[in-house]
């Protein structure tokens, strides 16, 4: 709310995030935004079922695999690992 009312400026960890998250003031709100970020920064495509209701352990393992793919793709696009980890997290 601070960002929406102009009391705090939105922060974007990468310039491409501004075009994706600009409408939500720099906050990932929608699943579609997360999938678009994965595509834009790492070239990886995520299917919606990645985020659907799964058992905790199954979902955790799946997200670890997605994280590895994201970090590798981001590295290939010249994004420093620390910044890619911060974006993914």
**Residues 25, 59: contact at Cβ < 8 Å?**
no
- Helix, strand, coil shares of the chain as percentages rounded to 5? 60, 0, 40
Answer whether residue 50 shows pLDDT above 60: no
For residue range 65-78, list pLDDT tens digits in order.
Answer: 889 999 999 999 99
- Which ranges of 1-89 would DSSP assign to H, the alpha helix? 15-21, 31-37, 56-76, 81-88
Average pLDDT, whole number, for the chain?
88
The predicted model scores a pTM of 0.77
Domain chopping of the chain, boundaries: 15-88
C-alpha–C-alpha distance, residues 34 and 15, integer Å: 15
């Amino acid at each position: 709310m601070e960002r929406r009312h102009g009391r705090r400026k939105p922060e974007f960890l990468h310039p491409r995030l501004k075009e994706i998250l600009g409408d939500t003031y720099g906050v990932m709100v929608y699943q579609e935004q997360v999938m678009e970020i994965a595509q834009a920064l790492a070239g990886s495509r995520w299917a919606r079922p990645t985020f659907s209701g799964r058992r905790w352990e199954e979902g955790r393992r799946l997200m670890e695999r997605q994280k590895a793919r994201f970090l590798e793709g981001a590295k290939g696009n010249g994004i420093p690992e620390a910044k890619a980890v911060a974006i993914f997290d």
